[in-house]
Structure 1
Amino acid sequence: MDNISHPGRRLLYDSLGDDEFRLLSIDTSLGPQPSDSELISCSLATFKRSEYTGALDGERQETARLWPGFERINYDYSSLFRPKRRLKNYTRLRNYAQTLSHRQIIRPPQLNDHGFRYELKNRYIALSYVWGPPKPAKAVMVNSCEVEVRENLYTALLELRRSDWVRQGIKIWIDTLCINQEDLDEATRQVRSMRDIYMNAWQVVAWLGPPLPSTEVAYAAVLWLARHMETGDRFKDFVQLYKGFLTNFNMWSIRTDPYLLWRPEVFSALRSFFANTYWQRLWILQELGMARIDALILCGRHCASLQDIFTAAKLISICEREVGSHISTVSGLFGQRQDMVASKDRQFGDDVSTPARQWGRILQIMKMREQKYFATAREHQAAALPAFELARSANTTDERDKVFGILGIFCISQIASITPDYGLGLSETFIAFTRDLIRNNDLTILRLVHHAVGDVTLKWKRFAPPREFIPGKMPLGPNWSVPQFPRGRREVTPPCSHQLPSWVICWVCSPAPLVLLPSQYHADHGLDNLQSSRTGQGATILRVVGVLTDHIATLSAFNDSEADPAYPWNCDDARNLPNSYGDLSGLQEALWRTIVGNSTSSGEQPAPASWAALLGSHLWNPRGFNSPRSLGLGFGLGAFMARNKYLVLGGYRLSELIPISATYLLIHGGLIHGGRGPSNQSTSEARFWASNVLAWRRLVGTQNGRVGLAVAAVKEGDAIFVLKGCGMPMVLRPTISGRWTLVGECYVHGIMNGEVLEDLERGRARTMNIEIE
């Protein structure tokens, strides 16, 4: 490649062939430890991708391909724990932690498993990083031309230059420099090859940026979890042996929360680590999905492997109450105390919108890596739903990359046939992608479509967070720095501005942050023989065939701030609605199974029978220990009962389905026994999952006496359809043109396994050809 120009001139790029890409070589002639102020000089050349296959036979199975060239950082794991005066069994714990620190066995990282230096010819490193803001820009020399790069890439190049790999001549692939960003055709072709580029890289290096003051503590905690706890059983035993309690007082109850006896700054450091903007980046779904499991996660000179990060995230998730809940990144509006009910940040009004369980995103990436080939397209569609949800919430510079950046993920590549085309506009891209996903009459992707919710009235006032006791400290006083919210209207999710049909997913305008139901449902089972007289779809019209099964009659209020007197909304004859489940006990079972989507958080279906404990009145007591007051919208079961006790389902009020007597309130409601009602681990898991599922959804009753759970945008009179090709019932709303608008999905207990066939035979439902606009 002859693209060397004179100093001061713009870098010129030659055209790339189909089997070609560019690689960067960093000049290391300045010595083993060059100054950061010395100019970075690089050369860029073109190579055939087929000559860079990533590794020799069996080399991808090698382990310990760790980052060479830096002094080893010896982390003192004993410093993670609280000092002696606050810790029982402190000597035993400190000695244990120090033993872990001294027993580490480090293999020379520049040597392979056979003791020989790696052969770095025809090898390259792929860099994964966040572009960051365009200013301030830094100058580097590429082929004797001065090129401006963003600051985050500049700091990454400084660290790469110190590596023994680079000093031995290994080359680097960096999208900003190796792709001509001004050539739209080249960018399109290179994006199509991104999956292969990261899969065939000798190693992938993820750059989190320069270190923060908390970085060393965060890496020490991650490595301690990953390399010395290792398994969930071992970590749970350790936590049970060395845990403390935070005691929180409020006007209703005394609440104690267990926690691992780490120093407070350890939880804070991990919170900062998981909130790094790198984990929010869209392209990591593909880059880390294709990388080796020992890909390097660098922050300054601190290094951990991707496997280390995954293992630490898994352990944090396993011990959610003792560890995870104290790491959660929460809204700055409400401080560090919030309900544990949060798989996403559910505090409406938080403009930062940082997910509260960020390690869950990392675990989902790991799950995508492990997915295998499924037998049917529907199974691939169901497996792809979490990946789509990750993509929709991720950050990217070009909004079209919300689609193009996930095409290389295995489960998506099995169902999507389009290729990146940056010549298409944003709306055209979204329409083409949704149409491509449903081309084989598999409508599973429609589960991600949610109609705009509109606005609600804020009723927040200034308040004091709960007082908190920490062992060895005085109780914290009220924090009056929480801002006062003026009354007024706020949009939950603004209407989409991209003029898309209701059946097309907008990857930019996100819906309300409801949690995805992970189970694969089969409401359309047995509908394969349904025939439509008008098949296919036009440019903006989706034509499908389905079964009209029911209509929505009653709706709950989905948050505390919803001051509209229409909710809970009950139709005029709500008390005369039938009960399709036979008797009261059948209706109660339908209720508890509906509020968890008849599934568990892991996607297991049906929910275990032991979760019938969700009908326990102590869980629905608005002032009980199990229903702590929410600082935000109140998505707990107690808050739900407080605003929806008059909701009618199957002819019964919610307060009649789950009666709470005055005597029970006195004994179990928070004034006695610290507010602790009957509880166990299974009940606790069920309660938290139910609260997450209910968040941003409405509990609904139907005209035929069924119980359902629908998106917040539904209204009385909306129709419930089971569409051929979609395992989840969908809510549709008629338009003045005679067509329909797609509102969103709706779990309806009693029709989730093909029961609509019986309804058709008995005349309680009818087949329709549907046009959705």
Structure 2
Amino acid sequence: MALHLATTATYAYKPLAARRIRLLKLPKDVDSQCQLAPTLVDVSLDTPPAYETVSYVWGEQIKSCLFNFSFGTSVPVTPTLRATIERLRPHCQTCYLWVDQLCIDQASIPDRNQQVALMGEIYSKCQRVMIWLGQDVHHSGYLAYYFNDGLPPELQRKTNHTRVSSSRLEQPDAQSFVRFLLALTWFTRAWVVQEAVLPPKASCFLGPFTFSIEDLWAIVVHHRAAERYFVQTEYSSIRQHPGYFVLNEIMRLRQQERYRSKRTHNPAICFYHSLSIFAPRCMTTSRHDIIYSFLGLQRDPRVRIIPDYDLDWSVVPVIATSTICEATESLNLFGMLHRKAGDESRWPNLPSWVPDWSRRLEAEPMVFPRSWMYFKSASGMAHKARKSSGLPASHLVVRGKIISEVAHKFPFSRGSGEPLANRHGWDVCSYLNIRRLHHLLKKTWPNDTTAPPIVRLLKVILADGSFTLNQKLREHCSEGLLDSDMDELAATYWFLESPVKQEDTETTDRPKMDDDDMGKRATRLRDHARVAWGRQLIVSRDWRLGLAHITAHEGDVICIVHGSKVPLVLRRLQSGRYRLIGQCYFESVMRGEEVTWGEDDADEFILE
């Protein structure tokens, strides 16, 4: 069916009408030793036959093989596709396959534009996706144990680990096995994400082994859950493995697809948040595909990002960002702006208001996706797209009011352990160093007034509980941190900052907490405090406290901007325009208290 290059007639693709796709029709072979050549058929995506899709790694881009169709025609394909089809064809249950390399005319940009725009639907409507993870198999004993006869009993039911059971998973061969799975090349490619998320069923093929993606995830979760009992001092959690980030988000989105009808689903937010997770960790051949390969995850009907491979790749993120802002009348994706300076960028000269999706997040968004935080600093006024004549696409016009100015900034002390990698282990006290901050505030504060108490300072540093990965806490903190929350978090901070010593004579005044209770409280504090990572404490000219990005400095203005749930810090440029520094938390404005103007009375800011 797929042979090395020979002299055959090249298959001639014909243009497709709107909402039409091609499927590879596999004839039912009477003789398994002599497979008949398949054909490409043109079908409507609205009424297609039952079909399956294929997810695989293209590998080398040189198409050194031929894929033969019926009637003596063929197309050049990569060796990886040849191996993929040969392995998966016997498992096709519908006799119809959708394979990107064959079903899209790769030589035609119009055809690529048209079909890439439909790929979300193509994968959503298939019966299942067959995921080819590759032929190379390591740790075959573990693979046989987990997959030959279904999952073993300890994975079929929720099993609590013990120190004994965990010690087996801490052994080098067990660790090497789970890392082998997460290091498979498939997890590094951008296109495979929507290919795995959208289909109702996902079957994985690795060498001779076949298993569901849910079974693969169950193994990873089983190993992850045992880590709390590991005794190795230099152990690196699998949570920090790039493949874990990708698989974890794939499984979260697959679950979300099953419950899309629930009211809590917010498709626009999930798209750009997922883009921030996947894009920096996944590779693409075309720079356009850093965004285009994830468009199937964009389920908000208001947003239409049209693939166009004729565009200069550098304008793709600008168009995507402005399209989302305009369609949703929201600027909340500005929470995705702050990226790690050490990461290599594929877009080195982006406007200040456009996220560099190719780099990892440096700071968490103030408005965390899937949260119900009360923030509404603009009092519900929406972003209305405005076009000014003569302005290039790299400029964005927003409206609002300047409410204050940064007068002082106080960076946090850099501690060890980055929270974005591990929320359980980073040294929150060394990073925040609240005693030092409070001392600096007292030195800065006017002599005739009292410096803010530490509880007020902590509330600002935690942005009133805006960030947490815990679903129950998101609901609990939707109206901000209660006084009882603040008392508990402050007590936890002091407990962590000054561990109990046997010879300490003042321990009788310390709160009594057992290890489990202290562990939960410490995890909550670290969780909330992640919002401070990559940010600093600021004081305005009217002596209010705020939390802003580390690049903010004295003289930057604090603005209420329509369409943003939180204030924004802007920097005036000599041109009269502004550079967006980022979101901020700022006292006495987060519920819209500062808004005294109507939509038509707002000032205009041009961001570049």
Q: Specify the TM-score bucket, using the shorter chain as the normaliser.
A: 0.7 to 0.9
Q: Distance in 1 between matches of 2:573 and 2:188?
A: 38
Identify which range, 606-615 or 735-744, moves more after superposition.
606-615
Q: Please, which of 23, 44, 64 is the counterpart of residue 39 of structure 2? A: 44
**Distance change in 2, residues 1:582/1:368 (3 Å):** farther
One-letter amino acid matched to 1:711:
H
Q: Please, which of 290, 293, 297 is the counterpart of residue 204 of structure 2? A: 297
Identify which range, 723-732 or 689-698, moves more after superposition.
689-698
Partner of 1:725: 563
**How far does residue 140 in structure 1 lie from its aligned partner after superposition?**
4.0
Q: Please, which of 129, 132, 136 is the counterpart of residue 56 of structure 2? A: 129
- The reply on whether 1:584 has 2:471 as its aligned counterpart is no
**Distance change in 2, residues 1:573/1:728 (3 Å):** closer
For 1:737, what is the secondary structure of its paired residue?
coil
Partner of 1:540: 394
One-letter amino acid matched to 2:607:
I
Partner of 1:350: none
> Once the two structures are superposed, what CA deviation does each residue of 1:182-218 show, in whole Å capped at 9, x if it has no partner?
0111111111221222222232111111142136525
**How far does residue 740 in structure 1 lie from its aligned partner after superposition?**
0.8
- The reply on whether 1:500 has 2:354 as its aligned counterpart is no
Q: Distance in 1 between matches of 2:63 and 2:176?
A: 28
Q: Distance in 2 between matches of 1:16 and 1:530?
A: 40
**How far does residue 496 in structure 1 lie from its aligned partner after superposition?**
7.3
Contact 2:132 2:206 in 1 (8 A): yes
> Once the two structures are superposed, what CA deviation does each residue of 1:301-320 show, in whole Å capped at 9, x if it has no partner?
22222333455566666x37
**Distance change in 2, residues 1:430/1:591 (3 Å):** closer
- The reply on whether 1:284 has 2:192 as its aligned counterpart is yes
Contact 1:344 1:357 in 2 (8 A): yes
Q: Please, which of 120, 126, 131 is the counterpart of residue 206 of structure 1? A: 131
Partner of 2:462: 593
**Distance change in 2, residues 1:208/1:371 (3 Å):** same
Partner of 2:235: 337
**How far does residue 666 in structure 1 lie from its aligned partner after superposition?**
11
Contact 1:730 1:746 in 2 (8 A): yes
Partner of 1:180: 105
**How far does residue 720 in structure 1 lie from its aligned partner after superposition?**
2.6
> Once the two structures are superposed, what CA deviation does each residue of 1:128-158 show, in whole Å capped at 9, x if it has no partner?
1221233594454344456443333222112
Contact 2:336 2:361 in 1 (8 A): no
Partner of 1:155: 83
User: Where does the alignment leave 5 or more consecutive residues of structure 1 unmatched?
Assistant: 54-121, 246-257, 328-334, 346-353, 454-490, 625-659, 669-675
For 2:38, what is the secondary structure of its paired residue?
strand
**Distance change in 2, residues 1:721/1:511 (3 Å):** farther
Q: Please, which of 309, 312, 322 is the counterpart of residue 422 of structure 1? A: 309
Contact 1:222 1:312 in 2 (8 A): no
Contact 1:127 1:206 in 2 (8 A): yes
Contact 2:6 2:66 in 1 (8 A): no
Q: Please, which of 433, 443, 458 is the counterpart of residue 575 of structure 1? A: 443
Q: Distance in 1 between matches of 2:89 and 2:505?
A: 66
User: Where does the alignment leave 5 or more consecutive residues of structure 2 unmatched?
Assistant: 418-432, 509-513
For 1:395, what is the secondary structure of its paired residue?
coil
Q: Distance in 1 between matches of 2:442 and 2:228?
A: 44
Q: Distance in 1 between matches of 2:126 and 2:383?
A: 49
One-letter amino acid matched to 1:500:
L
**How far does residue 397 in structure 1 lie from its aligned partner after superposition?**
2.3
- The reply on whether 1:386 has 2:273 as its aligned counterpart is yes
For 1:172, what is the secondary structure of its paired residue?
strand
Partner of 1:640: none
Contact 2:469 2:527 in 1 (8 A): yes
One-letter amino acid matched to 1:179:
I
Q: Distance in 1 between matches of 2:101 and 2:576?
A: 50
**Distance change in 2, residues 1:320/1:720 (3 Å):** farther
Partner of 1:239: 160
Contact 1:723 1:729 in 2 (8 A): yes
**How far does residue 127 in structure 1 lie from its aligned partner after superposition?**
0.4
Partner of 1:739: 577
For 1:402, what is the secondary structure of its paired residue?
helix
**How far does residue 369 in structure 1 lie from its aligned partner after superposition?**
1.5
Partner of 1:754: 592
Q: Distance in 2 between matches of 1:218 and 1:611?
A: 48
**Distance change in 2, residues 1:708/1:360 (3 Å):** farther
Q: Distance in 1 between matches of 2:405 and 2:567?
A: 12
* RMSD (Å), alpha carbons: 4.6
Contact 2:39 2:69 in 1 (8 A): yes
**How far does residue 25 in structure 1 lie from its aligned partner after superposition?**
4.3
Q: Distance in 2 between matches of 1:589 and 1:224?
A: 53
Partner of 2:295: 407
**Distance change in 2, residues 1:368/1:527 (3 Å):** same
Q: Distance in 2 between matches of 1:45 and 1:550?
A: 64
> Once the two structures are superposed, what CA deviation does each residue of 1:294-341 show, in whole Å capped at 9, x if it has no partner?
321221222222333455566666x37438x899xxxxxxx9624x6x
Q: Please, which of 358, 368, 379 is the counterpart of residue 527 of structure 1? A: 379
Q: Distance in 1 between matches of 2:526 and 2:349?
A: 37
Partner of 1:445: 333
**Distance change in 2, residues 1:736/1:281 (3 Å):** same
Question: Which structure has the highest helix share of the two?
Answer: 2
For 1:48, what is the secondary structure of its paired residue?
strand
For 2:53, what is the secondary structure of its paired residue?
strand
One-letter amino acid matched to 1:266:
A
**How far does residue 549 in structure 1 lie from its aligned partner after superposition?**
3.6
**How far does residue 382 in structure 1 lie from its aligned partner after superposition?**
3.2
Partner of 1:10: 10
**How far does residue 692 in structure 1 lie from its aligned partner after superposition?**
4.3
Contact 1:449 1:505 in 2 (8 A): yes
**How far does residue 278 in structure 1 lie from its aligned partner after superposition?**
2.0
Partner of 1:644: none
**How far does residue 176 in structure 1 lie from its aligned partner after superposition?**
0.5
> Once the two structures are superposed, what CA deviation does each residue of 1:80-103 show, in whole Å capped at 9, x if it has no partner?
xxxxxxxxxxxxxxxxxxxxxxxx
Q: Distance in 2 between matches of 1:523 and 1:580?
A: 29
Aligned residues: 561
**Distance change in 2, residues 1:315/1:515 (3 Å):** farther
One-letter amino acid matched to 2:459:
A
Q: Distance in 2 between matches of 1:665 and 1:215?
A: 58
One-letter amino acid matched to 1:243:
R
One-letter amino acid matched to 1:421:
D
For 1:162, what is the secondary structure of its paired residue?
helix
- The reply on whether 1:769 has 2:607 as its aligned counterpart is no
One-letter amino acid matched to 2:551:
A
Q: Distance in 2 between matches of 1:176 and 1:397?
A: 14
**How far does residue 174 in structure 1 lie from its aligned partner after superposition?**
0.7
Alignment of 1:243-642 (within 5 A): 243-244=163-164, 263-292=171-200, 294-311=201-218, 319=225, 321-322=227-228, 337-338=235-236, 354=242, 357-370=245-258, 372=260, 379-393=266-280, 394-409=282-297, 411=299, 413-440=300-327, 441-450=329-338, 492-493=342-343, 497=347, 499-508=349-358, 510-516=359-365, 517-518=368-369, 519-525=371-377, 527-528=379-380, 535-536=386-387, 538=391, 539-552=393-406, 553-557=408-412, 559=414, 575-577=443-445, 584=453, 586-590=455-459, 593-594=462-463, 597=466, 599-602=468-471, 603-606=474-477, 609=484, 612-615=487-490, 616-617=492-493, 620-621=496-497
Contact 1:219 1:304 in 2 (8 A): no
**Distance change in 2, residues 1:698/1:589 (3 Å):** closer
Q: Distance in 2 between matches of 1:690 and 1:531?
A: 28
One-letter amino acid matched to 1:408:
G
Q: Distance in 2 between matches of 1:573 and 1:714?
A: 18
Contact 1:13 1:180 in 2 (8 A): yes
**How far does residue 585 in structure 1 lie from its aligned partner after superposition?**
5.3
One-letter amino acid matched to 2:411:
S
**How far does residue 276 in structure 1 lie from its aligned partner after superposition?**
2.4
